[in-house]
A and B are shown apart, each in its own frame.
Chain A
Amino acid sequence: MSIIERRPALEVEDLHVTFRSPAGDVQALRGATLTVGRGEIVGLVGESGSGKTVLGLTALGLLPRTPHPEVTGTVRLDGEDMVAASEDERRARRGSYITAVFQDPMGSLNPSMRIQAQVAEALGGEGEGDQSELIHELLAHTGIPEPDVKARCYPHELSGGLRQRVMIAMALARNPRLVVADEPTTALDVTVQARVLDLLAGAARERGVALLLVTHDLGVAARVCDRIAVAYAGKVVEIGRAAQILSRPRHPYTVGLLASRPRLDGSIAGGDLPTLPGQPPDPRSPAVGCAFAARCPVADEQCAAPAPVVLEEGRRCECHRPGALETWPLAPLRVRSGEPVGIGHPLHVANGSIPIPALVVEDLECHFPRPRRHPLASAPEPLRAVAGISLRVPAAGSLAIVGESGSGKSTLLRAVVGLLTPTAGTITLGPGASPQLIFQDAGASLTPWMPVGAQISERLATLNVPRAERAARVASTLESVGLPAEVAAVVPRKLSGGQRQRAAIARAIVVPPALLACDEPVSALDVSLAAQVLNLLCELRATLGIALLFVTHDLAAARAVADEVAVVKEGIVVEHAATEQIFISPQHPYTRELIAAVPDLAEAA
């Protein structure tokens, strides 16, 4: 084999990317090193702000122009330098050497072009006769049913999963050397996610195309990757074979990342997920020493110096004390779970002994009218989003509703908290303050122009708490969700994603409701933050006796907070059992499918 043929598909060496802006320079990458071999699948895993996306974009030559990026270091694509290349050269390489699959297929597809025209563009053919055979073949190859029909569709006529398959077909159309896939399945439903991921990896392997899979989810990387690279604060802190990284991580950050993921075999509703303390370093301040030292349980004085590169067993790790940490230490819990909570709580006791359930839902139906096909058509059958659901959440209990988008789980939640009026059925709430809802997007659930404190104290105002007491109540509530009291004076924009979700939780519990409904409260958060929020919910349940109704698509997250799980599909509960029971012996095939779709680290390692 000649030297030329052994050139890796992508070589990134000591890559620095700094965005220059008047608000200060942001160091997105601070010396990242990564290699993707020919036909190899490498997962680049990191939390938001780790620089993983910037690395992918730099390889593609698609860095945004503003704020102005300054790139130093080496990015070689198939041996050819991408940093020094002109924009025209980069464009020439995109499409033939390197292509991309992004998170949002709707945003990446042209809404006004038929699928076949877009795939034809990706093929690079301009008027080279009839390509439809080739296009249909490509689409069929990525698992698109009836490719000849779908090729004539516009993007909005396809489901999210199909759109992403089209993107994959386009990315693979010209057999590039490398595909950069940035969170390709994050926007999809769990079961679809697993299928699309397998398909992407399978197609890449079959064609010998190398794949750089950028993701926040270790489970996703574990499912398909040969090697896994872990990004932190603009560096690749550890890279090695997938099994090695998952079973014997050397870098403490990798250990923490692995530990903080809710697991399918973790404790149930324990509130004891290990969490990474603190926050990643500010990308605006220059790095001194090891960037992870401030959060590292085994950091010592030598960590004040820049971390050395340690090469061993074919893996690369940037750490002073690789392998010093084997298991992430558990944070001391303020409240240990497992105590008999809620029962005996004054709010929930009626007639001395029997607690009134926090929520009883009986035969709930929520219908939405569908538009007529044309003005003279008879009214179509309404959409039965919730088609007869009965549930009960005991006082201080915790029930997870698990299902995919369109299953009616969010509609159910909105009906329970009173945001929509059900078509039929009854909802009986336990005594206490009105139920509160935690939204998926905490940022959107806080009014952008109002200080957080003012929004929290609005609930106090409606319950006639004297004005003088409100500030103190707000401060103590913020503290109980782990935020400093100063946050009260700040508008939501100034907070990080995790802080915003805590602020939203603070508003919900400043007057403890009998029932706290949560709509995918952690699916928009990074793994370590998600663990903190899940723990917080468990803790609040224990200390305040708040019952939880937790809607999620993620069975592992459900396991971390709920005593019972109800699996919903097409508006009905297909299985309802104790959490343990669901995992040990799922009865319904759909439940089994959901469990199988959760990317699990144990089997990959």
Chain B
Amino acid sequence: MSLAVDRRVTPVAAVAAGKPESVGGPQPLRLRLWRGRPLASAGNQRAGVVAALIPVGAMTLVALAAPLLATHTATGVTTIGPLHAPTFSYPFGTDDIGRDVFSRVLYGIRESWLGAIGVIAVGALFGGLLGALAGAIGGFVDTVLMRLTDLFLALPAPVLAIAVIASIGPSLFHTLLALSIVWWPWYARIVRGEVRALASRPHAEAARLAGVGRVRLVVRHLVPGALAPVIVTMSLDVGNLILALSSLSFIGLGAPPPAPELGAMSSQGLEYLFGHAWVPLAPAAAVALLALAANLIGDHANRRLDKG
């Protein structure tokens, strides 16, 4: 498993690079001088929304309802003994100390999914605020804030996580904290770039000429334009974060045992891959499913908002 939590350049770059919503009634015809991938037709488009929403909705539901769905507790030892193969009442079998893997996976999904959303919310809020400030004020403030952002961008997440956990002890919350610290700079960059690009556009100049005050100009005329790329980034980030969280707990930097963490479960169960495959594969499959669901909605949001 890769430790890399640095993120690929997403198609958001295209949005962030200054292609804000095109205003205008009928869009000009796009000329197609070469053959490209035919875009989804109308029927496909609606199917696309549903296809993207169902997995995400299902995962959220599972995350919220995990205590109700779980047949056992996450940490309690069951009566059928360790490394029991899947049965009807133990769909994913039991692990090496006899805990119900199904229930542990459900709780693991809950922690990963909600944790990822939490980190992203914190990152978008804090980063967005800083980015908006830097973009709106400019000059010295911009330089200072952006160099600060670069500083945090340069920190590798695992190293930071090790530092945080070494100093304040291992827990899921501390892992999330460490991830939040390395995650917000991306949002600061996106919002700052968007706000700066929008500030030089005619609508912002017109608002300035109309006598609109600085704060209102930023809040009403600039920041809403940065929402689309931020939303796209957020939705694509869920997948990245779930992988990052799992990677960190895989190498032992996540919630300490016996907490049901998907990455940690896969890692600890790895020795049973041959013979008792359900132990590592069930949590690994859950990670894959979560990341897939998140990326589906991210891609969808990207396509929708990019089209404007």
Residues of chain A at the chain B interface (Cβ within 8 Å)? 20-22, 48-49, 53-54, 57, 62, 64-68, 87, 102, 107-108, 417-419, 434-437, 439, 441, 443-450, 455, 458-459, 462-463, 492-497, 500, 504, 507
Show the binding face of B for A, using Cβ within 8 Å.
20-21, 23-26, 29-33, 35, 38-39, 41-42, 45-46, 201-213, 216, 220-221, 224-225
CB A527 to nearest CB in B, in angstroms, measures 18
> Known contacts A65-B32, A108-B33, A495-B25: does B210 contact A507 (CB below 8 Å)?
yes
Query: Which of chain B's residues has its CB closest to A102's CB?
Result: B31
Measured between beta carbons, the chain A residues less than 8 angstroms from B225 are 448-449
Chain B, interface SS category: loop
B39 neighbours in A (Cβ, 8 Å): 65-66
Tell me which residues across on chain B come within 8 A of A48, comparing CB atoms. Answer: 26
With A65-B32, A434-B209, A507-B206 known as contacts, the answer to whether A448 contacts B42 (CB < 8 A) is no
Is there an interface contact between A458 and B207, defined as CB atoms closer than 8 Å? yes
- Is the CB–CB distance between A62 and B209 below 8 Å? no
Name the distance in Å between A164's Cβ and chain B's nearest Cβ: 16
Return the chain B residue nearest A446 by Cβ: B203
| Docked CA distance A504–B155 (Å) | 47
Q: A419-B208, A455-B207 are in contact. Are A444 and B202 (CB under 8 A)?
A: yes
Chain A residues whose CB sits within 8 angstroms of the CB of B46 once the complex forms:
22
Hey, which chain A residues are within 8 Å of B41, CB to CB? 66, 68
**Complex contacts, B32 vs chain A, CB 8 Å:** 62, 64-65
* Chain B residues with CB below 8 A from A67, complex form: 42
- Choose among B30, B202, B216 the residue that contacts A64 (Cβ–Cβ < 8 A): B30
Kindly state the separation between the CA atoms of A500 and B46 in the bound complex, as whole angstroms: 31
Q: Shortest CB–CB separation between residue B304 and chain A, in angstroms?
A: 14
CB nearest to A23 among chain B residues: B42
Cβ-defined partner of A447 (8 Å) among B38, B209, B220: B220
**Interface contact A448-B21, CB-CB below 8 Å:** yes
A447-B203 Cα distance, complex, nearest whole Å: 5
Contacts of B205 in A (CB 8 A): 419, 437, 439, 445
A454 closest partner in B (C-beta): B220
- Pairwise interchain contact B23-A444, C-beta atoms closer than 8 A: yes
Within the complex, the shortest CB–CB distance from A500 to chain B, in Å, comes to 8
Q: With A62-B31, A65-B32 as given contacts, are A437 and B206 in contact (CB-CB < 8 Å)?
A: yes
Give the complex CA separation of A53 and B26 in angstroms.
Answer: 13
Determine the residue in chain B with the shortest Cβ distance to A418: B209
Q: Given A66-B38, A494-B25, A497-B25, are A446 and B211 neighbors across the interface (CB < 8 Å)?
A: no
Check if A493 sits within 8 Å of B24, measured CB to CB.
yes
Query: How far, in whole Å, are A66 and B206 apart by their CA atoms in the complex?
Result: 34
How distant is B239 from chain A, measured CB to nearest CB, in Å?
Answer: 28
Q: Which residues of A have CB within 8 Å of B31?
A: 57, 62, 64, 102, 107
Closest Cβ–Cβ distance, residue B48 to chain A (whole Å): 12
| CB neighbours of A435 from chain B (8 A) | 209
Contact A441 B202, beta carbon cutoff 8 Å: yes
Q: Is the CB of B29 within 8 A of A57?
A: yes
Inter-chain contact B209/A496, CB cutoff 8 Å: no
Question: CA–CA, A463 to B212, complex, Å?
Answer: 10
B29 near A462: Cβ-Cβ < 8 Å: no
A443 in contact with B209 (CB, 8 Å): no
CA distance A351 to B83 in the complex (A): 101
Given contacts A66-B41, A447-B221, whether A54 and B29 have CB atoms under 8 Å apart is: yes
Picked from A21, A417, A445, A495, the residue with its CB within 8 Å of the CB of B202 is: A445
Which of A54, A435, A493 has its CB near the most chain B CB atoms (within 10 A)? A493
Residue of A with least CB distance to B222: A447
When chains A and B are docked, how far (Å) is the Cα of A367 from the Cα of B225?
31
Q: How many Å from the CB of A95 to the closest CB on chain B?
A: 11
Given A87-B35, A496-B25, 12 further pairs, Cβ under 8 A: A48-B26, A57-B29, A65-B32, A419-B209, A434-B209, A437-B209, A444-B203, A448-B21, A450-B220, A455-B207, A458-B207, A462-B210
Distance, CA A443 to CA B212, complexed state (A) = 19
Q: Is the CB of A459 within 8 A of B203?
A: no
Chain A residues lying within 8 Å of B23, measured Cβ to Cβ, are 443-444, 446, 448, 492-493, 500
Name the residue on A nearest B224 (C-beta): A449
Can you list 19 pairs linking A and B with CB atoms under 8 Å apart?
A21-B42, A22-B42, A65-B39, A87-B35, A102-B31, A107-B31, A417-B209, A435-B209, A444-B23, A446-B206, A447-B207, A455-B207, A458-B216, A459-B210, A462-B210, A495-B25, A497-B25, A504-B206, A507-B206
Measured between C-beta atoms, what is the minimum distance from B242 to chain A in Å? 31
Enumerate chain B residues within 8 angstroms of A436, measured Cβ to Cβ. Answer: 209-210
Contacts of A434 in B (CB 8 A): 209, 211
Contacts A66-B41, A439-B202 given: A49-B24 contact, CB under 8 Å?
Answer: no
B203, B208, B211: the one within 8 Å of A463 (CB) = B211
A458 to B31, CA, bound (A): 39
Instruction: Assess whether A458 is in contact with B209, with CB atoms less than 8 Å apart.
Output: no
- Complex Cα gap A449–B224 (Å): 7
Q: Which residue of A lies closest to B46 (CB)?
A: A22
The answer to whether A462 and B211 touch (CB under 8 A), given A445-B206, A507-B206, is yes
> Which A residues lie within 8 Å of B20 (CB)?
448
Minimum CB–CB distance for A503 against chain B, Å: 11
**Residues in A whose Cβ lies below 8 Å from that of B221:** 447, 450
**C-alpha spacing A62/B32, complex, angstroms:** 7
Complex CA–CA separation, A54 to B201 (angstroms): 31
Residues of A contacting B210 with CB < 8 Å? 436, 455, 458-459, 462, 507
CB distance from A170 to the nearest CB of B (A): 12
Q: A446-B203, A496-B25 are in contact. Are A62 and B211 (CB under 8 A)?
A: no
Contacts of B212 in A (CB 8 A): 458, 462
Query: From residue A401, how far is it (CB to closest CB) to chain B in Å?
Result: 18
Q: Which residues of A contact B45 (CB under 8 A)?
A: 22
Of chain A, the residue at the smallest CB distance from B37 is A65
- Cα–Cα distance between A507 and B42 once the two chains are bound (Å): 38
Q: With both chains docked as a complex, state the minimum distance between the C-beta of B232 and any C-beta of chain A, in angstroms.
A: 16
Chain B residues with CB below 8 A from A507, complex form: 206, 210
B33 near A62 with CB under 8 A, answer: yes
| A48–B205 CA distance with the chains assembled, in angstroms | 28
Least distance between B229 CB and chain A CB atoms (Å): 14
Chain B neighbourhood of A418, CB < 8 A: 209
Which of the listed residues B23, B207, B220 has the most CB atoms from chain A within 10 Å of its own CB?
B23
A65, A447, A496, most chain B CB atoms within 10 A: A447
Residue of A nearest to B40 (CB): A66
Nearest neighbor of A517 in chain B, beta-carbon distance = B209
The CA-CA distance from A222 to B46 in the complex, in Å, is 47
List, in ascending order, chain B residues with CB within 8 A of A458's CB: 207, 210-212, 216
CB distance from B264 to the nearest CB of A (A): 44
* B198 (CB) vs chain A CBs: closest residue: A447
Contact across chains for B201 and A444 when beta carbons are under 8 A apart: yes
Given the interface pairs A62-B31, A439-B202, the reply to whether A459 lies near B25 with Cβ below 8 Å is no
A448 touching B203 by the CB < 8 A rule? yes
Contact of B25 among A417, A493, A504 (CB under 8 A): A493
Smallest beta-carbon distance A513→chain B, Å:
9
Residue in chain A with minimal CB distance to B45: A22
Closest to B216 in A: A458
Contacts of A108 in B (CB 8 A): 33
Contacts of A455 in B (CB 8 A): 207, 210
Please give me the residue from chain B that is nearest to A26 by CB atom.
B26
- Beta-carbon nearest neighbor of B42 in chain A: A22
Judge whether A65 and B38 touch: CB under 8 Å.
yes
Central interface residue in B35, B38, B207, by most chain A CB within 10 Å = B207
Alpha-carbon separation in the docked complex, A328 to B232 (Å): 52
Chain B residues with CB under 8 Å of A441's CB are 202
When distances are taken between beta carbons in the complex, the residues of chain A under 8 Å from B33 are 62, 108
Q: Which partner residue on chain A sits nearest B212 by CB separation? A: A458
Question: Min CB distance, B27 to chain A, in Å?
Answer: 10
Closest to A67 in B: B42
Residues of A within 8 A of B209 (CB): 417-419, 434-437
Name B39's closest neighbour in chain A (CB-CB): A66
Question: Which 3 A-B pairs give the minimum distances between C-beta atoms?
Answer: A462-B211, A22-B42, A443-B23
